Structures are given as structure tokens and as C-alpha cells.
Amino acid sequence: MVARLTPYQVMERLVSFPTVSRDSNLLLVDWVEEYLAGHGIPAHRHYNETGEKAAIFAHAGPEVAGGVVLSGHTDVVPVDGQPWTSDPFSVVERDGKYYGRGCCDMKGFDALAIWALVEAHHRGVARPLQLALSYDEEIGCTGAPPMIERMLEVLPRADVAIIGEPSMMQAVTGHKGGLGYDVRAVGFEVHSSIMHRGVNAIMAAAPLIDWANACNAENRARRPSDLAAMFEPPWTTLHVGTIAGGTAHNITAKECRFGMDFRIVPGEEPEEWGARFLAEVAQAEAAMQAVHPDTRIEVTPKFVVPGLKPEANGAAEALVRQLTGDNGSHVVSYGTEAGQFQERGYSTVICGPGDIAQAHQPDEYMTVEQFEAGHDFMRALLERLGRA
């Protein structure tokens, strides 16, 4: 049997793996699987379509339904171009903070969850505890749904899912949904002096971006529903964060690429927003093809992330409130895998250590105080599961 590592020691190991979303996470998954196996806990993998990434999940306690899932993701965002003052893939403690890529988002929680699973196995629990670590959360939460499906096939079904995104250990019961597209407009090049004979892909795509601006203004002006009013901002937002295209100032642009992302308040459906956008695309494309038939607009879906909806008398919320003492109402505008667990029938809540404001930043950190609060939470959870 291998030695039992502390949560901090587990976090050190996890952070040391540079699992940026564009790269493989298999070295981290290998380590987690070996560490759990060393404690007699079998783990299961679910690979992506290329076999270069995998989710890993495991179960401790009696082989019965009704357990608790601790859910995190293994991928992190890039450090390219960020002015770090220490090695981003080593945990460095200074001034009461743990610095390192993923310490906050969210390998700190992952470490605490792994520690709790091993403790549950050795102590024995009356109610099961499960671990679920996904891939590709940072690029659209695409790794969780197939992982969840496989979990439901392999493990006894749990009742509660706790998604450990950084929430300062508050019980977050709602978040916006997400929808994203990659858009490529293909025009027809001519000299700009005779631009009427060509199709400028940038200018042809501009009405789609202007439509997004108009939707934002319309949504902002509309009175929000009671549920939407809980969010900041309390409306669905449309956003274009990157755009590229064109060859020269005197040539009609052959190509324009941009991303269109939606953050959708609960109560509105991603599919409806998607249909509205595609209708605008079709109209813009028709205008292009009226000038030249070889032009087009290609739209590639990137992700659809369901929102997390507050649950009436939710078991997950009740459990977390009992363990933390938090009685406030909290929702967030960022997306997580929580809605995906909720869609599959789990009572779901977000609760994890750290401040989301530190996520993705250079010198990302979690305070020692928050990490210890997460440790206290896991101890309390184990006590509760031991007598459930």
C-alpha cells in the first residue's frame, strides 16, 4: 500500500502536470489511477475520441445507490504570455497563498476530493462517495457528458453531485447556460475600387456582430424574470471576443473568422438562441451569394452548456448548507459542468474553495485559508457519510 498523501501533497502532484486543454491529460490520469489503486480503489476511465485525453472516476464505500459525487476537471488554461513570478506548474507558498496554475481552478479542489475518497475507503462509510474528474471543461464543458453517461453505466447511481468550482465555499445553486459557435465567412476578392463586384467577408459578417449588439441592448432593456434577476447581469449576453480576416486594405476580404458566444439566463433555451443566430446567418449568406455564388458562411458549433437551475428542496443544496453553515442565495454567470449533472438527474450544487476572480490569471492562487476551509468541508462530509 502506498502512503496516504495530504491534500497539499496531492495538489502538488496535480499541478505538476501541465494539463492545458490543448494537450493530453493522460499523465495526470495515470498518476491518479495508480495512487487510488495503491489504496485498493479501482478507477475507471473514459477516453475522448482521439484517445489523447481521459476522464477518470471511482467509487468508495458500499456498492449501493444514493451516494455523493465530488466533481472536478483536470484541464487548465494556458500560461502563454502571462507574467508569472514563479513556475506555474509548481505549487509555491508565499504570503498565505498557494500559487500555481490550477491551484484555484480547480486542482486544489481535485486534490481535496482525491484525499476524501481515499479517506472514505480506509475509514469506511455508510453512504458511498464518488470521484469524477473530467477533461475539456475549459473549452466548453465537452468532456463531462460522456463521462457522466459512463459513470451511470459502471457505478451505483449517486443522488448528489458537488461541483467544486471556486465559490469561496458558498453554496451556488444557479448559473447561466452557454452556447458557442466558430464562424467563418468566405467572400470573393476584388480590388477595393470595384468592391461592388466582390464580397468583403469582414463587411458581410459585420451585420451578425451588429445583431449581437442589438440583442444585448434589447435584453438589457427588458424586465428580467425573477430567476434572471438573481444574476449579474440579469440578461442573456452575446459576445464576440476574437475576430480575424482580410489580406490588405485595398482588397475585399476573402475570409473573416470570429467566435459567437452566448451566456444564457435560466428560463431561456440555448436551442432557441441558436436557431435565431442561424436564421441571421442564413440571411447574411443569402446577401453574399446574391453578389457571387461562391461565397458562404460556415458555422461550427463549439459547445452547448446547460444552465444550473435552483432546485426546490434540493438535496445537494441542503447537504452543503448543513456542512458549511452558508444560508445565503448565490448564483454565478460563468458556466460549469453542474448543469450537465443536473440534466442527468443528480441533485447538484457548486461549492469549492477559492475565488473565481483568481482563475485564469497570471500568478493564479488559492489562499491557504480557503484550502483549509475546503479540507474542513471534506472532513465534515466524511463524518456525515460515515453515519448516513
Q: What are the catalytic residues?
A: 75, 137
The answer to whether the beta carbons of residues 349 and 320 sit under 8 Å apart is yes
Going by C-alpha positions, the residue among 309, 344, 340 that lies closest to residue 144 is: 340
- Specify the 3-state DSSP secondary structure of 185: strand
Alpha-carbon distance values, 72 to 76, 93, 120 (Å)? 11, 23, 18
Residue 333 region by backbone torsions, left for phi larger than 0, else alpha for psi between -120 and 50, else beta: alpha
The identity of residue 135, as a single letter, is Y
β-strand 330-332 against 237-239: which pairing, if any?
A: unpaired
Sequence-distant contacts of 18-24: CB under 8 A, at least 24 apart: 18/76, 18/89, 18/101, 19/74, 19/75, 19/76, 19/102, 20/75, 20/76, 20/77, 20/78, 20/79, 21/75, 21/76, 21/77, 21/78, 21/135, 21/136, 21/138, 21/139, 22/78, 24/52, 24/53
The answer to whether the beta carbons of residues 128 and 59 sit under 8 Å apart is yes
| Dist. CA 236–CA 160, nearest whole Å | 28
DSSP 315: H
Identify whether 11 is preceded by a cis peptide bond (ω within 30 of 0). no
| Dist. CA 108–CA 99, nearest whole Å | 11
- Specify the 3-state DSSP secondary structure of 260: strand
The answer to whether the beta carbons of residues 87 and 178 sit under 8 Å apart is no
Burial 66-79 (b: 16+ CB within 10 A, else e): ebbbbbbbbbbbeb
